[in-house]
């Protein structure tokens, strides 16, 4: 029975607009939350949830969201996602209701602790820390991210509630400004979607990726969504045809099962289109067939393999696309059998086989995993994963953005499993090398590694491992880490141990440099004190004292230059600043040249200021492209396309340096861009192409290469266009020519 609450009992704020309707909506959402929690409520829990709700209503009473609705609806929605989509319980619900109170309102952590105890206060504190990650400088951001992960290893509910919060923010992102949408979406796809994947929350990960794509790549998103809608009826017919014989076999085998097809996410289809360079129509696995069995725990594996056998009897499997996560579950707890089979009409179809327990873990991740684990003391893969994170975070002293990158490549990617010579299994991130494996065994073995035997064959330390390899590490006492090693590893543990070892060496060498600097300064009659050392660091433009002493020791910085310094008592001062003179010279000598792409003017921000900028070499934007500005150190404003390969990383990690930009109309300036053309090799094809470009469109060609073979030609053309519209018109006209198969833009700088 739902808790009965009257409107007058609640400390709801007084609104002048639709006050009664808003009260009713808040109560409706609150009752829906209680209904979702019904099976989890123990004695006294309902009162606790009610108190948390009242505290949140009172705290947020004057606040509204960008959409104009009362703010309290946000924590209520987050709490419902926690319960309904992640499977969390009463404590997490209370934390979700209070997750913004300490950060945004007058309520303190002490108030929460006094009312609900230490456990809930600790989780709310963790959630508050995560919120502070956003919009800070990068080193503070990485530092806060480490705090999140430490909290995660203490209590994973922190990250689960944060993921629910982020999911609701993404669902309501329409009300934000465009630049805010880009920043939040980039951050989501960069950190939060992989984290959801790693926690086993596949549905949430998929929705986060799709929603991010909706804002980062709106055209591609709409295009794929439209094509999926158009092909739905055809897909449904095909799925029914595919499933029919399998259903009959499973029923004859007395299995208690569900079988259905579900479409792949828009984001994963888009990734496939990009990676394989194919059109939407050529992506064969637009959907996956899922078989879910109701099997007792002791028969789960046996039943899954029996079903696999029935499916592969009916349809021929592709041997290299078989995935066995029954024998080797992922470290986020995911278990299933995946196979790709040749279905009717010569189409490949992915089939996933799992039990109801496995399905719940696949969809609700960590929360479901711990539910099934109750009563077992085994340290499983999830616990080991947390242990690895704890080890890496506690040993790292870096506070740079490298930490985020290391964490991503170590813990947020797919895994491979590697065997030791004794047959033990080690899980490593995809892309790991023999050196990563050595460090995963022990840091002392990693530091002395000189090579490895993979499947009994000798390989170098940089050798990339594949799932199923058996690896034996070869060591030498004379070996020690070098700077190059950082290019050979992807795991955070290996990177951190290599950096520690390099720092130790650096410190030892720097001690010699310190002694040399002291003698030199004292020989000049200057004191060896902190002020003078800082003056030297500035003079040589180095980041720290350690770098100064190290460079002096290896003779990279010549101390003879110190004679140029002025001595005033004990003060050491640099010569008159030449830097400003150089800067002035650069500015006064600079003459904008109308034909140079770097000199065009753009409008940025809310005002109509015009400013000098340069175009990013990584994505070569042209007028009409959706772009943003990035304030770089030393190079001023650099313009990138919003779908630049580096855009998500920049927006997620350096959001405070992103500037809103748009193009000014200027038809006089040409921009170099490239087109790749593929078609049938026919007489006069080059003449047709050049006639469209130079004759009809009057576009200048910078370079043209055509390679043909076996009746197909591949052309690469670099052209100067004024803007995106002109480029699109050119592409359309080329595509209309007989025998032209595809015309795709590429960044002219990428082919040297």
What distance lies between CA 705 and its chain's CA centroid?
A: 37
- 486-524 b/e (C-beta count within 10 Å ≥ 16 → b): eebbbbbbbbbbbbebbeeebeebbeebbeebeebbeee
Q: C-alpha distances in angstroms, 274 versus 210, 220, 269, 279, 653?
A: 15, 11, 9, 9, 24
Answer yes or no: 103 catalytic. Answer: yes
Contact 165, 77 (CB under 8 A): no
Tell me the β-bridge partners of 603: 610, 662
Please give the backbone phi and psi of residue 492, each rounded to the nearest 5 degrees, phi first: -65, -35
Residue tagged active-site, from 58, 84, 103, 154: 103
| CA separation for the pair 382, 597 (Å, rounded) | 52
Contact 382, 366 (CB under 8 A): yes
| CA separation for the pair 185, 169 (Å, rounded) | 10
Nearest Cα neighbor of 747 from 676, 673, 677, 678 is 673
Nearest Cα neighbor of 36 from 94, 99, 90 is 90
Q: Compute, in degrees rounded to 10, the torsion defined by CA atoms 394, 398, 404, 407.
A: -40
| CA separation for the pair 62, 138 (Å, rounded) | 33
What lies within 8 Å, CB to CB, of 519 at 6+ separation is: none
Answer yes or no: 512 catalytic. Answer: no
The pair of structure tokens assigned to 610 is 């015009």
Tell me the β-bridge partners of 415: 429
CB-count exposure of residue 577 (10 Å: 0-12, 13-18, 19+): exposed
Residue tagged active-site, from 104, 391, 399, 402: 104
The HSE-up count of residue 12 (CA atoms within 13 Å, CB side) is 23
Residue ranges in 38-81 assigned as alpha helix (H): 45-59, 73-80
Per-position DSSP letters for 393-426, written without gaps between them: HHH----STHHHHHHHHHHSS-EEEEE-TTS-EE
How do strand 287-293 and strand 348-355 relate by DSSP bridges?
parallel
SS3 472: strand
Please give the backbone phi and psi of residue 545, each rounded to the nearest 5 degrees, phi first: -60, -40
Active centre residues (catalytic):
103-104
């Amino acid at each position: 029975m739902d808790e009965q609450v009257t409107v007058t009992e609640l400390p709801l704020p007084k609104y002048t607009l639709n006050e009664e309707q808003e009260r009713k909506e808040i109560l409706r959402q609150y009752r829906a939350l209680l209904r979702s929690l019904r099976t989890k409520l123990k004695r006294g829990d309902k009162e606790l949830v009610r108190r948390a709700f009242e505290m949140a209503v009172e705290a947020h009473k004057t606040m509204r969201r960008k959409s104009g609705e009362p703010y309290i609806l946000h924590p209520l929605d987050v709490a419902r996602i926690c319960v309904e989509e992640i499977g969390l319980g009463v404590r997490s619900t209370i934390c979700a209701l209070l997750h913004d109170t300490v950060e945004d309102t007058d309520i303190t952590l002490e108030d929460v602790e006094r009312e609900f105890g230490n456990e809930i206060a600790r989780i709310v504190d963790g959630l508050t820390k995560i919120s502070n990650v956003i919009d800070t400088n990068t080193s503070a951001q990485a530092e806060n991210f480490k705090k999140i992960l430490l909290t995660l290893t203490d209590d994973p509910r922190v990250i689960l509630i944060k993921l629910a919060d982020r999911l609701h923010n993404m669902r309501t992102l329409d009300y934000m400004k465009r630049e805010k949408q880009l920043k939040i979406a980039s951050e989501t796809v960069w950190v939060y979607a992989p984290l959801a994947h790693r926690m086993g929350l596949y549905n949430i990960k998929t929705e986060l990726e799709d929603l991010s794509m909706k804002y980062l790549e709106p055209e591609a998103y709409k295009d794929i969504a439209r094509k999926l809608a158009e092909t739905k009826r055809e897909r449904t017919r095909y799925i029914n045809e595919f499933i029919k014989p399998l259903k009959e076999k499973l029923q004859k085998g007395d299995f208690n099962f569900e079988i259905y097809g579900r479409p792949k996410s828009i984001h994963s289809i888009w990734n496939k289109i990009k990676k394989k360079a194919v059109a939407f129509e050529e992506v064969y696995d637009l959907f996956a067939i899922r078989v879910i069995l109701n099997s007792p725990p002791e028969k789960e594996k046996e039943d899954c393999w029996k079903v696999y056998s029935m499916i592969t009897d009916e349809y021929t499997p592709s041997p290299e696309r078989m995935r066995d996560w029954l024998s080797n579950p992922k470290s986020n707890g995911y278990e299933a059998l995946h196979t790709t089979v040749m279905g009717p009409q010569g189409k490949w179809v992915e089939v996933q086989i799992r039990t109801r327990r496995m399905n719940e873990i696949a969809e609700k991740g960590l929360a479901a995993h711990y539910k099934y684990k109750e009563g077992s003391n085994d340290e499983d893969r999830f616990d080991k994963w947390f242990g690895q994170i704890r080890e890496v975070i506690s040993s790292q002293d870096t506070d740079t953005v490298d930490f985020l990158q290391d964490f991503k490549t170590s813990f947020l990617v797919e895994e491979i499993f590697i065997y030791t010579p004794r047959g033990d299994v080690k899980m490593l991130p995809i892309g790991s090398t023999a050196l990563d494996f050595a460090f995963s065994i022990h840091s002392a073995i990693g530091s002395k590694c000189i090579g490895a035997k993979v499947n009994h064959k000798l390989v170098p330390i940089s050798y990339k491992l594949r799932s199923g390899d058996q690896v034996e590490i070869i060591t030498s006492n004379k070996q020690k880490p070098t700077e190059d090693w950082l290019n050979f590893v992807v795991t955070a543990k290996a990177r951190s141990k290599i950096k520690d070892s390099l720092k130790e060496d650096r410190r030892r060498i720097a001690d010699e440099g310190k002694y040399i600097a002291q003698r030199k300064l004292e020989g000049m009659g200057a004191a060896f004190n902190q002020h003078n050392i800082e003056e030297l660091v500035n003079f040589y433009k180095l980041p720290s004292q350690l770098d100064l002493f190290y460079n002096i020791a290896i003779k990279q910085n010549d101390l003879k230059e110190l004679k140029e310094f002025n001595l005033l008592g004990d003060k050491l001062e640099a010569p008159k600043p030449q830097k400003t003179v150089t800067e002035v010279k650069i500015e006064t000598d600079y003459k904008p040249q109308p034909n140079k792409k770097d000199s065009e003017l753009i409008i940025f921000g809310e005002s109509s200021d015009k400013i000098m900028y340069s175009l990013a070499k990584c994505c070569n934007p042209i007028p009409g492209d959706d772009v943003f500005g990035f304030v770089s150190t030393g190079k001023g404003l650099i313009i990138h396309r919003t779908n630049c390969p580096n855009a998500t990383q920049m927006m997620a990690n350096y959001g405070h340096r992103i500037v809103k930009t748009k193009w000014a109309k200027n038809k006089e300036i040409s921009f170099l861009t490239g087109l790749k053309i593929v078609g049938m090799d026919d007489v006069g094809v080059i003449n047709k192409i050049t006639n469209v470009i130079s004759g009809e469109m009057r576009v200048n060609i910078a370079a043209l290469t055509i390679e043909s073979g076996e009746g197909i030609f591949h052309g690469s053309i670099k052209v100067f266009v004024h803007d995106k519209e002109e480029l699109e018109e050119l592409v359309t006209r080329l595509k209309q020519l007989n025998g032209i198969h595809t015309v795709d833009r590429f960044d002219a700088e990428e082919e040297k």
